[in-house]
Amino acid sequence: MDEGLVVKGLGGFYFVKKSDGSLIRCKARGRFKKENINIFVGDKVKIIRTIDNTWVIEEIMPRTNFIIRPPVANIDQCIIVFAVKNPDLNYSQLNRFLILAEKSNVEIVICLNKIDLAEEREVKEIERKYLNIGYEVLTLSAKKKSGIENLKTVLKDKISVVSGPSGVGKSTLLNAIQPGLKLATGDLSEKIKQGRHTTRHVELLQLDFGGLVADTPGFGYFKLEDITPEELSDLFIEINRAARYCRFKGCMHLHEPDCEIKRQVEHGLIYKERYDSYIELLREIDDNRRGL
C-alpha cells in the first residue's frame, strides 16, 4: 500500500501526490460513497493498485482540521492578505477574517501588502498592533517585490490557503513568489462559462521550493453563525488571555462590574478597534440567533 496526498478532485477521480512527487489518478472505494464519507483535497490517503491496474483510495487518515470555503483538509496555515492602502485597511474586516480563521484552528500569518503606497510610519503602526496582539505579520509589496523572500520562507513545505478581500493583491503576491502561479478569481464571466450548476474544484498547487497552496482564495472558513457568543471572546486571542482576570467567570465584557477587558481597553492595553469589532460581531451573532 502507498501513501499520498489528494491535491485535486475532478470528474470522480482523485489525483494523489506521492512523496516521490509522482501524481496518481485514483478512484475512491465504493464504500466511501455508501457510507457518505467525502474525500477532500488535502486528505492524506492510502492507495493500492488493483488487478485491473487502476488505483483506488483505500483509507483516509485522520484529519487535523478542515475548512469549508474552499473545502480543504489538513491545512497548516492560513495567509490573510490585506492592503495597507487602495483599498484602505478595514480593521473590522481584518478582525472578522482573523476570528473565522481562529475558529478553524489553523496557524495564521497576516500579510500587509501594497506598502509602497503608504508612509513607513503608517505601515509600522499597523504591523506593531497585530504583533502586539500576538500575530505573525509580514509587510510586503508584490509590485516592488519586497518582502517576497519572507513569504516564501513562511510557505515552504506547508499546506496554505491564501485569503483576504478582493483587490488586496493575493494573485499578484503568488505570482511574485512563483511566476505562473495564479489564484482562481471570483470573476463572474468565469462562473458563467462554467455554468451555474458546476462548482469549481479546488486544487493544491505545488510550489517549486516546496509546499502547496490552494488555488482558491478562502472567504471565511466558518460562517459567523457557527460561532456562539461565549466562544467569540476566546477567538479574540488577547481577550481570551485577559478574560481570566474578569471578576465573573463567563463575563461577556459588556456591562459587568470589574471587567478586566474593559479596564484594559481604557488603559490602551487592548486596542479599542479590536474591542469594537468584538462588540460588533457579538451583536451580529445575537441578531442571527434571534432570527433578525
Ligand X SMILES: Nc1nc2c(ncn2[C@@H]2O[C@H](COP(=O)(O)OP(=O)(O)OP(=O)(O)O)[C@@H](O)[C@H]2O)c(=O)[nH]1
Q: Report the interface residues with ligand X, using CB under 6 A.
A: 113-114, 116-117, 141-143, 166-172, 183, 185, 217
- The nearer residue to ligand X, 122 or 284, going by C-beta atoms, is 122
Adjacency order of strands within the sheet including 77-83: 136-139, 107-113, 77-83, 159-163, 212-214, 204-206
Name residue, grid cell 512527487. Answer: 21
Query: Which of 110, 246, 270, 285 contacts Zn ion by CB under 5 A?
Result: 246
Pairing of strands 2-10, 44-49: antiparallel
- The nearer residue to ligand X, 181 or 237, going by C-beta atoms, is 181
16 binds, among ligand X, Zn ion, none (CB under 5 to 8 A by kind): none
The neighbouring-strand residues paired with 13 are: 10
Which of 124, 150, 127 is closest to 137 using CA atoms? 127
Residue 160: CA count within 13 A, CB half-sphere: 26
Whole-Å CA distances, 180 to 6, 29, 173, 175, 208: 22, 35, 11, 6, 11
- The nearer residue to Zn ion, 106 or 261, going by C-beta atoms, is 261
**CB-CB contact of 82 with 91 (8 Å):** no
Nearest distance in Å: CB 133, Zn ion: 17
Q: Is the dihedral of CA 207, 222, 94, 202 positive or negative?
A: positive
Distance between CA atoms of residues 243 and 230, nearest Å: 12
Binding piece for Zn ion, criterion CB under 5 A, among 76-84, 154-162, 179-187, 239-247 = 239-247
- Give the residue nearest to ligand X (CB): 169
Applying CB under 5 A, does 261 fall inside the site for Zn ion?
yes
Applying CB under 5 A, does 83 fall inside the site for Zn ion?
no
Copy the grid coordinates of residue 6: 489528494
Applying CB under 5 A, does 259 fall inside the site for Zn ion?
yes
253 binds, among ligand X, Zn ion, none (CB under 5 to 8 A by kind): Zn ion
142 binds, among ligand X, Zn ion, none (CB under 5 to 8 A by kind): ligand X
116 binds, among ligand X, Zn ion, none (CB under 5 to 8 A by kind): ligand X
If one counts every other C-beta atom within 10 angstroms of the C-beta of residue 235, the result is 18
Distance between CA atoms of residues 23 and 41, nearest Å: 14
- The nearer residue to ligand X, 165 or 211, going by C-beta atoms, is 165
166 binds, among Zn ion, ligand X, none (CB under 5 to 8 A by kind): ligand X
Nearest distance in Å: CB 84, Zn ion: 32
Applying CB under 5 A, does 251 fall inside the site for Zn ion?
yes
- The nearer residue to ligand X, 65 or 146, going by C-beta atoms, is 146
Applying CB under 5 A, does 253 fall inside the site for Zn ion?
yes
Applying CB under 5 A, does 99 fall inside the site for Zn ion?
no
Q: Interface residues with Zn ion (CB under 5 A)?
A: 246, 251, 253, 259, 261
